[in-house]
């Protein structure tokens, strides 16, 4: 053990047996993480928007309404379904598809559950003056994007179940047929 009285204590060239043992255990534990992560097969990848106003409601929706508690990976990307196809957010598109691939590889997911929400800022950015807020017209704008996302799953030959939903700001959710 180092007997230097330097204040940092980080320059030691020797390590105690106890310190070595702790490092060895930590290293062994890290090597087991990928095996443990791959061992779990879960039901779904849940994709939601980043909007802070709806995080709690979204998690409740996935856990309770969709009965996925402890059976889903969760990703938050601006616009949710919009992230898969929006030219305004190319890095989000890459992240969307990377997370689908990772969830399939690590957890053998069976479906993707996408939760968009009304009055979404990402939709406002993407559509600009063509953005529609409220009622059936807003629903149809989301449905159009969801159809594009579904087509992209098909183009990429990703054979997973797909669900699309739209949440209002009060937390109520409606399924969206695409």
d(CA 113, CA 134): 23
In this prediction, residue 53 has a pLDDT band, given cuts at 50, 70 and 90, of very high
Q: Across the chain, what does the average pLDDT equal?
A: 86
Provide the domain count of the chain: 1
pLDDT value of position 100:
98
Residue 167 falls inside a structural domain: yes
> What confidence tens digit (pLDDT) does each residue in 85-94 have?
999 999 999 9
Residue 31 falls inside a structural domain: no
Top-confidence residue, 167 or 34: 167
pLDDT value of position 32:
47
pTM as predicted: 0.78
> What confidence tens digit (pLDDT) does each residue in 56-72 have?
999 999 999 999 999 99
d(CA 113, CA 156): 17
pLDDT value of position 171:
98
Residue 21 falls inside a structural domain: no
**CATH, residue 58:** 3.40.1050.10
Q: Say how many C-beta atoms besides its own lie within 10 A of residue 50's C-beta.
A: 17
**Residue 173 in contact with residue 165, Cβ under 8 Å?**
yes
In this prediction, residue 37 has a pLDDT band, given cuts at 50, 70 and 90, of very low
In this prediction, residue 105 has a pLDDT band, given cuts at 50, 70 and 90, of very high
> What confidence tens digit (pLDDT) does each residue in 124-153 have?
999 999 999 999 999 999 999 999 999 999
pLDDT (mean) for 40-67: 97
Residue 6 falls inside a structural domain: no
Residue 16 falls inside a structural domain: no
Q: Where are the alpha helices (DSSP H) in the chain?
A: 17-39, 55-60, 81-85, 90-107, 121-127, 135-155
Residue 14 falls inside a structural domain: no
Residue 2 falls inside a structural domain: no
Q: Where are the alpha helices (DSSP H) in 50-114?
A: 55-60, 81-85, 90-107
pLDDT value of position 17:
56
Query: Within 13 Å, how many C-alpha atoms sit on residue 129's CB side?
Result: 0
Domain ranges, residue 55? 41-175
pLDDT (mean) for 156-173: 98
Residue 19 falls inside a structural domain: no
């Amino acid at each position: 053990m180092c007997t230097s009285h330097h204040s940092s204590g980080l320059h030691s060239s020797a390590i105690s047996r106890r310190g070595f043992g702790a490092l060895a255990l930590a290293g062994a534990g890290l090597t087991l993480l990928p095996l443990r992560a791959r061992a779990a097969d879960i039901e779904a990848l849940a994709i939601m928007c980043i909007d802070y106003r709806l995080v709690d409601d979204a998690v409740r929706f996935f856990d309770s309404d969709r009965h996925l508690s402890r059976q889903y990976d969760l990703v938050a990307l601006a616009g949710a379904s919009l992230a898969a196809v929006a030219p305004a957010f190319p890095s989000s598109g890459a992240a969307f598809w990377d997370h689908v691939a990772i969830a399939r590889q690590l957890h053998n997911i069976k479906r993707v559950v996408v939760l968009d929400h009304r009055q979404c800022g990402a939709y406002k950015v993407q559509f600009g003056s063509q953005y529609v807020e409220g009622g059936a017209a807003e629903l149809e704008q989301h449905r159009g994007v969801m159809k594009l996302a579904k087509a992209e799953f098909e183009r990429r030959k990703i054979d997973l179940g797909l669900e699309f939903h739209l949440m209002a700001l009060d937390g109520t959710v409606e399924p969206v047929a695409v």
